[in-house]
Amino acid sequence: MDVELLENERLDELHRNGYFIIQDPKRFCFGMDAVLLSGFARVKRGERAIDLGTGTGIIPILLEAKTGGAHFTGLEIQPESAGMARRSVSLNRLEDKIDIVIGDIKDASERFGASSFHVVTTNPPYMTGSHGLTNASEAKAIARHEILCTLEDVVRESARLLKPQGRFYMVHRPFRLAEIFVLMRQYGLEPKRMRLVYPFADKEPNMALIEGLSGGNPRITVEKPLIVYKEPGVYTDEIIDIYGY
């Protein structure tokens, strides 16, 4: 396999279509939240999708493998992460299906144009600038904390990027659900579907998967809980299926 790996980088198998991804553990590696979002999002045949804050490109690559979407774009503000994403796209010979663009989420609709996509996906920073401990690594801090963009920036630009009746998919933390729904409705993204993710059946949920519809009518479906582990270290069958093991 002909691939250029820089210092500290590694090659990880994605268990989908024989695809691999380049990552640097010293910067930021994708987590389960990104994989679960790729299993929750729906991209129909022929549709165009964009992933805001794509990091190393995990969500566009997985969605290309799992769906019939025509084209995928990943927008990432950190050049080093975008560089890894581009090399992963090339490694998997997906240059005709996936574009990685360096840019700011806050300017996304101006850059790509309004009503440009059928689907927007995003795994944004979960923590506000003052919430939690800021990681010593700048790259990891930017990925986890609202340093370069806020939740409102993400929702506003997603709404502008979507075609009428386009779909918005986000993974976030349950403790911010009230704020998320208020912002979605403020910008015309009606919450339509939600699934809470629980580490164990008897624990509180630690992730929320959310679908919104541009210009949709009020009515939300809350899907059955998604349980990650049936016992410590042992994934449930549904998690194994989402990962493709």
pLDDT digits (tens, 9 = 90+) for 99-134: 999 999 999 999 999 999 999 999 997 656 554 444
Angle between helices 32-40 and 58-66 (to 10 degrees): 40
The token pair at 232 is 């410590």
Helical segments of the chain, H only: 32-40, 58-66, 79-91, 108-112, 138-144, 151-161, 177-186, 237-243
**Given this model, what pLDDT does residue 27 score?**
81
Q: Which amino acid belongs to residue 32?
A: M
Distance of CA 18 to the CA centre of its chain: 21
> In 3-state terms, what secondary structure has residue 106?
helix
CATH class, range 10-243: alpha beta
207-241 residue pLDDT tens: 999 999 999 999 999 999 999 999 999 999 999 99
Q: What angle do CA 218, 222, 223 make, to 5 degrees?
A: 140
Whether 135 shows a pLDDT value over 80: the answer reads: no
Eight-state DSSP code of residue 95: T
Report DSSP state, residue 94.
-
